[in-house]
């Protein structure tokens, strides 16, 4: 019998990742494309189909070897109906019946969900939320996402739209957000916002990796920038900790690479701002599965979906 594999796709505002995994969720191959170079909806759909064909053929598999395709998507998604409501950071997507479209094109089982929910699923099954009854998993990138594990189950909400941490308002007034809201957390600490702040502070187009490196070398400006991000994130998380009495917060995504200067500030802010009972057990950990968490979560979703 031929070896079965899973295709996992992680679509972000910056990158489109396509991976081939075995049934134990080991990544066999992974490809990365620039989302912004692929154009609008049709360009992305075409790139998804082409990438699946290439990664499958390059690794010597046939379409019949593919158990299914799982997609992690950067916005509100109806996982049950397979509909994308919209993407805050990718224009041209509104009430798209993506599951139906892809199943017709690919002739394969397709499953989809919000990317942060899939990161939470992966960290709960294989990562740093494992063994926790109640956990919040946070993704920090172009957008800010959240996935909740409550009572040992992924919490989706009444309309499959729970977990939108990035669109939690943290001020009465503030910058406009791509979701249509005002003063959302993402409008303060999404990576494009941090890059813009860094450019103002340093006077040139500095990368976030460079800012992190400077912070590690005790550069005052870099430490202050990451400190601000940590305080704003910590303030939002304090309210969630008070509300849900969690065991652990797992933080991943590209911005989490800032390291101790970010994590230490988040922890300090939680101690200052959250209630004592709720903070006495809370742990704040970096995502164990790193940038692959979304892909692994998409594969878990496929495996569970096909067997259910």
DSSP string, 92-138: T-EEE-HHHHHHHHH-S-EEEEEHHHHHHHHHHHHSTTTT-SSEEEE
Q: Which domains does the chain have, with CATH numbers?
A: 5-118+292-307 (3.30.420.40), 131-287 (3.30.420.40)
Q: ∠ CA 258-74-273 to the nearest 5 degrees? A: 50
Beta bridge partners, 146, equal 138
> Among all chains, which residue has been given the structure tokens 């494309």?
33
| Burial of 252 from C-beta contacts in 10 A (0-12 / 13-18 / 19+) | buried
What is the model's pLDDT at position 74? Answer: 86
Distance of CA 296 to the CA centre of its chain: 12
Question: Are residues 177 and 187 in contact, defined by beta-carbon separation less than 8 angstroms?
Answer: yes
Intervals of the chain under pLDDT 70? 1-2, 36-39, 308
Q: Which two tokens stand for residue 143?
A: 């957008």
Q: What is the pLDDT of residue 39?
A: 64
The C-alpha atoms of residue 282 and residue 251 are separated, in whole angstroms, by: 13
What per-residue confidence (pLDDT) applies to 35? 73
pLDDT tens by residue, 65-121: 999 999 999 888 999 899 999 888 777 888 999 999 999 999 999 999 999 999 999
70 membership: H or E segment, kind and range:
strand 66-73
Nearest to 154 by CA among 124, 182, 126, 197: 124
- The pLDDT of residue 1: 42
Give the 3-state secondary structure of residue 307.
Answer: helix
In sequence order, what are the beta bridge partners of 248? 135, 283
> Which pTM does this prediction carry?
0.90
């Amino acid at each position: 019998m031929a070896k079965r594999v899973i295709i996992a796709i992680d679509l972000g505002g910056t990158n489109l990742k396509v991976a081939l995994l075995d049934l134990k969720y080991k990544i066999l191959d992974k490809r990365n494309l620039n989302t912004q170079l692929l154009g609008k909806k049709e360009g992305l759909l075409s790139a998804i189909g082409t990438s699946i064909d290439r990664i499958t053929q390059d690794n010597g598999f046939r379409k019949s070897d593919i158990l299914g395709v799982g997609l992690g998507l950067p916005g509100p998604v109806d996982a049950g109906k397979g509909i994308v409501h919209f993407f805050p950071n990718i224009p041209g997507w509104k009430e798209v019946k993506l599951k139906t479209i892809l199943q017709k094109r690919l002739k394969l089982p397709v499953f989809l969900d919000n990317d942060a929910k899939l990161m939470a699923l992966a960290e709960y099954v294989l990562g740093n939320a494992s063994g926790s009854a109640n956990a919040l998993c946070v993704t920090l990138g172009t957008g800010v996402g959240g996935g909740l594990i409550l009572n040992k189950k992924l919490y989706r909400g009444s309309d499959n739209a729970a977990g939108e941490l990035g669109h939690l308002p943290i001020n009465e007034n503030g910058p406009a957000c791509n979701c249509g809201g005002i003063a959302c957390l993402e409008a303060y600490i999404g990576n494009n916002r941090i890059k813009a702040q860094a450019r103002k502070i340093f006077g040139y187009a500095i990368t976030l990796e460079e800012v992190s490196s400077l912070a590690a070398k005790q550069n005052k400006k870099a430490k202050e920038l990451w400190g601000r991000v940590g305080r704003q994130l910590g303030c939002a998380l304090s309210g969630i900790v008070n509300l849900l009495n969690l065991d652990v917060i797992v933080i991943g995504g590209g911005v989490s690479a800032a390291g101790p200067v970010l994590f230490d500030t988040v922890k300090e802010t939680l101690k200052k701002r959250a209630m004592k009972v709720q903070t006495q057990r809370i742990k704040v950990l970096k995502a164990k599965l790193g940038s692959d968490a979304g892909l692994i979560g998409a594969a878990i979703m496929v495996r569970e979906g096909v067997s259910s």
